Chains A and B, each alone.
Chain A
Amino acid sequence: MYPRSFEYVSPGSLDEATSVLASTEGAKVLAGGMSLLPLMKLRLFSPDVLVDIGRIPGLSSISDRGDHLAIGAMVSHAATASDSAIAEHAAALATAASWTGDVQVRNQGTTCGSIAHADIAADQPSAALALGATMVAASAGGVREIAASDFFVDTLTTALEPGEILTEIRIPKQGGASAYEKLGRRGGHTDYAVAGAAVWLDVSDGAVSSARVALTGVGAKPTLAEGVVEALVGTDGSDSAIAAASERALEGVTVLDDLFGTVEYKAHLAKVMTRRALQQAVAAAT
């Protein structure tokens, strides 16, 4: 299946890329293409111009910047999944990346691309949300930072403006521990999530001192589960405390059904995945 015709631009620098985006109506950024090209082949989306950022130097590395890790726009899922610093400081993201797509998709697709695409069933957006990531967006007008909690606006919709490129995401080195759990559409961890949960938490003096929990696949966008945090912080993180907190996963969330599960089933799964992820994170933090 051929996409509709388009003009292809392969800029050699970020400045060139943002200037093309600023001056061209209907231009879209191409990174790995694992989400964009299937949509274009099905002709659900037909941009007039593709701006391929794959040849811009400096976007393919994961950097340790002291207080945070930075993942560049062209870092593949496979690279995120196998990076030792990500594993140490952002285990939820490493796990989510390792369960994204399949081997070939992980080789070609990018972490930032998945986050910018914001599919409700994708794994890494909720991991970024639970980890309190910061998104860095560049445009011809400059660079701005967007908190993950402000980034995901609606289904397939983020705070990125036309003309902006998600150049990197920053994960704070914040201590504690994180984890991701999901049920994949093909069972186990394979394929998009039917439902999933990403958690980060810290433990001090035998009690959970702070936490973030984000759900995948249940609502219209990756969603913070505030009720779980409210119930969990201050407890000893025991299995019973976790089980009670997980029951509050869907407070304030409108669960959407789809081909892969009814509202009731996905709501149940979200609680189960929240409980499992919390148990892992507590075990890793203590």
Chain B
Amino acid sequence: MHVSLTVNGQRAVTDVEPRTLLVHLLREELGLTGTHVGCDTSYCGACTVILDGKTVKSCTMLAVQAQGADVTTIEGLAANGDLHPVQEGFWERHGLQCGFCTPGMIMSAVGLLSDNGSPSEDEIRHGLEGNLCRCTGYHNIVRAVEYAAAKMRGEEPPAPEWEEGSA
């Protein structure tokens, strides 16, 4: 079937079988392999993308359901070589270990911060409940989102805990 959608600001037109999942269209048709397939059962959130402003699990959506939609993937966040504040936060606060869950975590964090620019730690943890990290690196992921939230509000991000500890 014919599908046309906008991915990271660019129009994409392709023919897919109805059973093609959105994540496979992104990865295999468009070559955007930053969106990962993790559990493939709708639990882990590694495949999270932003579709028409809302985070969705692209492994649990047919590509044909995204007809006409505006999709943002991890590849669409950095602009002109500058990392998105959430990407920068994951870098600065060691928000990843193996990195497999990271694209989905970052997309969910971007979605969270677009709804709530000043989330509490509890709100961050609940906002990311659809994303699993098998390294269990949640602590620094929360710090990374706090860093990004501060940056996006134009504030100085909180100092890293390892500096507080060594002071």
A-to-B contact residues, CB < 8 Å: 1-8, 10, 30, 33-34, 37-38, 41-42, 50, 52, 54, 78, 101-105, 107-108, 186, 190
Give chain A residues whose Cβ lies under 8 Å from the Cβ of B18: 5-8, 50
Q: In this complex, what residue of A is CB-closest to B53?
A: A107
A8 contacts B1, CB within 8 Å? yes
Q: Is the CB of B108 within 8 A of A103?
A: yes
Q: Do A38 and B127 have beta carbons less than 8 Å apart?
A: no
Q: How far is the CB of A31 from chain B (nearest CB, A)?
A: 10
Interface centre among A2, A3, A30, A104 (most CB of B within 10 A): A104
Known A105-B57, A190-B129; judge A10-B111 contact (CB<8 A): no
- Residue pair A10, B42 in contact (C-beta under 8 Å): no
In Å, the complex CA distance between A37 and B58 comes to 11
Say whether A107 contacts B19, CB under 8 Å: no
Q: Which of B61-69, B87-95, B143-151 contacts A (4 or more CB under 8 A)?
A: B61-69
B129:A52 contact, CB within 8 angstroms: no
Interfacial chain A residues near B24, Cβ < 8 Å: 2
Given contacts A33-B61, A37-B60, A103-B111, contact A6 B54 (CB under 8 A): no
Pair B130/A104 contact, Cβ less than 8 Å: yes
B residues contacting the other copy or chain, number (CB 8 A):
30
A34 near B129 with CB under 8 A, answer no
Chain B residues, Cβ within 8 Å of A190: 129
Given contacts A4-B19, A52-B64, 16 further A-B contacts (CB under 8 A): A2-B24, A3-B19, A5-B19, A41-B41, A41-B59, A52-B62, A102-B130, A103-B55, A103-B112, A103-B127, A103-B128, A103-B129, A104-B57, A105-B42, A107-B54, A190-B129
